Amino acid sequence: MKIHIIYYFVLIFTISLLLYKYLPSIGAEPVVYDKTLGVEKIVGGLNYPVSMSFLGPNDIMVIEKDSGIVKRIVNGQVIDKPLLNISVDNRMERGLTGSAIAHNSSGNTYVFLYFSKNNVTLTGGEATTNITENDLFRYEFIDGKLANPKLLYKVPTQEARIHNSGKMVIGPDNSLYLMVGDLFSSKPKLTGNFPNGSIDGSGGIIRLNFDARPVKGILSDTYPLNLYYAYGIRNGFGMDFDPITGNLWDTENGPNYGDEINLVQPGFNSGWKKVQGIWQPYREWGEGKGKLFVNNSQLVTFNGKGQYSNPEYIWEKPVAVTPIKFLNSTNLGKNYASDMFVGDYNNGNLYHFDLNDNRTKLLDKHAVINKKIPNEDILIYNEEDYPACIKEFACSIVLYNFSNAISQKVLNISTSLTSGSGSKIEGKEYEVIPKKVYNMTSSMKLNNHVTQSNITIEGYNNKTSSWERISDCINNMYGPMEWTKFDCTLQIPDEISKIRPLINGGYSNETGKEAVSYLSNIGIINQNEFVDLFPDINYSDYIIFGKGFGHITDMQMGPDGDLYVLALPGAEDTERSIPNKKINEGAIYRIAKN
């Protein structure tokens, strides 16, 4: 008997170990929700990779934050000898954090690296101080090696070890754009929107040519202010240029609120430390969401040369937004050409955005989702009965920015069809009492082309064991229509034990024009309490294109026109500055047509 008990406990212990070892990896493979696309792992075993660039087709350069190693990956194989091994200060967010590749007019290949260097000596009078310095170096890629290093830019940092940034991108003007965080400095800075502050080259986007000479100054002709393309930036890990307009966009990280996507025009002021997202910090040092920001007169404008504008997109609860990339390719399909893709670090999500006609705003229509997202109780009727919704409709969740800048959960349904067929999306089933009166509420907004958008209430008949229409709460609505609240009264018929809403987003009244219906707050008022009939819509999923990438650190379009994602494994950590326990398992993934 004693032997059996010991065996039992050994067996349980062994199973527990196996579960601990293998369960975290179950279902952890990255996925995209477009069934026509697939995700392929190109290479793994990378040690805390944070940036990648393409030297050529199937030839990728990757930098590792903590080790300071620059690796070359050819045809999916890591070359044994690194391109470079830099001794870096890798404490917290310091390290080898930025890279970019460019070609000059003579055909030379330049490699730019941004890293934190230890033991830089500053001499002031008779005293000397050892500090850490963030340096931007240019190298030449010659015969498979990085040679001829040249220092282009440096930012001393003596205080905290975070907000160093290092994201770089080559602009259409053949200039180098470098994002430098505010270094989490306690000193008031002019570029941090303190009128009497100092300027140290941080807290903005720096623009240089490849020889370190400033491009024409926007805010001033005096160094280092003449280098600033944008300012008022806390920290960020994403920049890219729109291939159609040439406009620069960035992603910026808030503290415990207000991650942003911004359109960055020359002289852009992002507002930090006076505003993040749409909120002013309630502490001077910025960590903590206060009231809505309404007083632009607090901001530094450099005599009108700098201009603040609101973010184009805000996450109230941070996702640690990281790379941003425009797909200048039709490889994933014409519907994604020139669209914006964004990744995050906290959740390993990949987001997709469309832009408006002049490409200065993000549309409320997002990625087409042709299958159910896990943890969402939104059902689309089967393809045989409702092929239009499956094939033509974009049924997705968006975070709509209302005029008062307060966001809420919104269901977005769109189509370009001009037939009478429509979408049909089910809400939650709600138990009711026959003959009792219930009040239902909802809100709706329609664009110019919507015809016959409806919200129908179905009831389950116990006698016939089937669902039947009992009311049209919103019937045959036509656009355009701004946000309008609708209330309707439901008298529950005999034999009906539960109800559910059915949403039909309508169809377009003009060939080639898209109809878009927005619906929000669809529910039952029961004893003065609102019961959400779409409770499982999680607005963190409103624009999700793919999931399961762990911690996304970079994203690039390859020479082949496909989308490449650089990521660390797992999504357990909530701060980008905390390395994952399995940092040596970083990987590159390729998203391409199946």
pLDDT of residue 366: 32
Q: Could you tell me which residues come within 8 angstroms of residue 581 by beta carbon, excluding any fewer than 6 positions away?
A: 570, 572
Q: Are 275 and 254 in contact (CB under 8 A)?
A: no
Q: What percent of the chain has pLDDT over 90?
A: 50
Which long-range CB contacts under 8 A does 372-379 form with residues at least 24 apart? 373/33, 373/541, 373/544, 375/536, 375/538, 375/541, 376/536, 376/537, 376/538, 376/541, 377/428, 377/534, 377/535, 377/536, 377/537, 378/411, 378/425, 378/426, 378/534, 378/536, 378/537, 379/425, 379/426
Q: What's the token pair of residue 153?
A: 């830019």
Q: For residues 174-180, give the mean pLDDT.
A: 97
pLDDT of residue 467: 92
Q: For residues 77-105, give the mean pLDDT.
A: 92
Residue 573 has pLDDT above 70, yes or no: no
pLDDT of residue 28: 57
- Which helix (H) or strand (E) segment is 586 a member of? strand 586-593
Query: Which stretches does DSSP call E strand in 57-95?
Result: 59-64, 69-74, 77-78, 84-85
Which long-range CB contacts under 8 A does 222-229 form with residues at least 24 apart? 224/199, 224/200, 225/190, 225/191, 225/199, 225/302, 227/153, 227/201, 228/191, 228/204, 229/177, 229/204, 229/205, 229/264, 229/266, 229/267, 229/268
Residue 14 pLDDT grade (very low, low, confident, very high; cuts 50, 70, 90): very low
- Which helix (H) or strand (E) segment is 4 a member of? helix 2-22
Residue 535 has pLDDT above 80, yes or no: no
Q: What is the DSSP string of 18-37?
A: HHHHHGGGTT-S-EES-TTE
pLDDT digits 0-9 by tens, 136-150:
999 999 999 999 999
Q: Show the domains of the chain with their CATH numbers.
A: 32-362+543-593 (2.120.10.30), 377-541 (2.60.120.260)
Question: Which of 233-242, 291-300, 335-344, 539-548 comes out lowest in average pLDDT?
Answer: 539-548
Which one-letter amino acid corresponds to residue 103?
H
Predicted TM-score (pTM) of this structure: 0.69
Radius of gyration (C-alpha) of the chain in whole angstroms: 27
Question: Which of 189-193, 524-528, 533-537 comes out lowest in average pLDDT?
Answer: 533-537
Residue 541 pLDDT grade (very low, low, confident, very high; cuts 50, 70, 90): very low
pLDDT of residue 583: 58
Q: What is the DSSP string of 434-466?
A: TT-EEEEEEEEEE-TTEE-EEEEEEEEETTTTE
Residue 529 pLDDT grade (very low, low, confident, very high; cuts 50, 70, 90): confident
Nearest to 373 by CA among 217, 250, 546: 546
Residue 312 pLDDT grade (very low, low, confident, very high; cuts 50, 70, 90): confident
The rounded mean pLDDT for the chain is 80
Q: Are 124 and 143 in contact (CB under 8 A)?
A: no
Query: % helix / strand / coil in the chain, to the nearest 5?
Result: 10, 45, 45
| CA distances to 53, 165, 317, 486 from 348, in Å | 20, 19, 15, 38
pLDDT digits 0-9 by tens, 17-44:
333 333 333 335 898 878 789 999 999 9
Residue 191 has pLDDT above 60, yes or no: yes
State the greatest distance between any 2 C-alpha atoms of the chain, in Å, as a whole number: 95
pLDDT of residue 421: 52
For residue 292, the cross-strand partners are 279
Q: For residues 142-159, give the mean pLDDT.
A: 88
Q: For residues 204-208, give the mean pLDDT.
A: 97
What is the DSSP-derived secondary structure letter of residue 189? B
Q: Are 305 and 231 in contact (CB under 8 A)?
A: no
Residue 165 has pLDDT above 70, yes or no: yes
Cβ-based burial of 23 (10 A; exposed 0-12, middle 13-18, buried ≥19): exposed
In this structure, is the dihedral angle defined by the CA atoms of residues 301, 303, 306 and 311, taken in order, positive or negative? Answer: positive
- Do strands 204-208 and 228-231 pair parallel, antiparallel, or not at all (unpaired)? antiparallel
- The 3-state secondary structure of 315-348 reads ECCCCCEEEEEECCCCCCCHHHCCCEEEEECCCC
For residue 238, the cross-strand partners are 251
Euclidean distance between CA atoms 307 and 508, whole angstroms: 39
pLDDT of residue 413: 65
Q: For residues 519-535, give the mean pLDDT.
A: 79
* Of 559 and 214, the one with more pLDDT: 559
pLDDT of residue 473: 83
pLDDT digits 0-9 by tens, 243-294:
999 999 999 999 988 889 999 999 999 999 999 988 889 876 556 788 878 7
pLDDT digits 0-9 by tens, 455-483:
889 999 999 999 999 988 888 888 888 87
pLDDT of residue 412: 60
pLDDT of residue 464: 93
How big is the CA angle at 17 (ends 14 and 21), to the nearest 5 degrees? 140
Residue 337 has pLDDT above 80, yes or no: yes
pLDDT of residue 112: 98
What is the DSSP-derived secondary structure letter of residue 403? T
Residue 554 pLDDT grade (very low, low, confident, very high; cuts 50, 70, 90): very high
* Of 396 and 446, the one with more pLDDT: 446
pLDDT digits 0-9 by tens, 365-417:
332 222 232 323 222 222 333 333 333 333 333 333 333 323 355 666 666 55
Please report, in angstroms and rounded to a whole number, the separation of the first and last CA atoms in the chain.
57
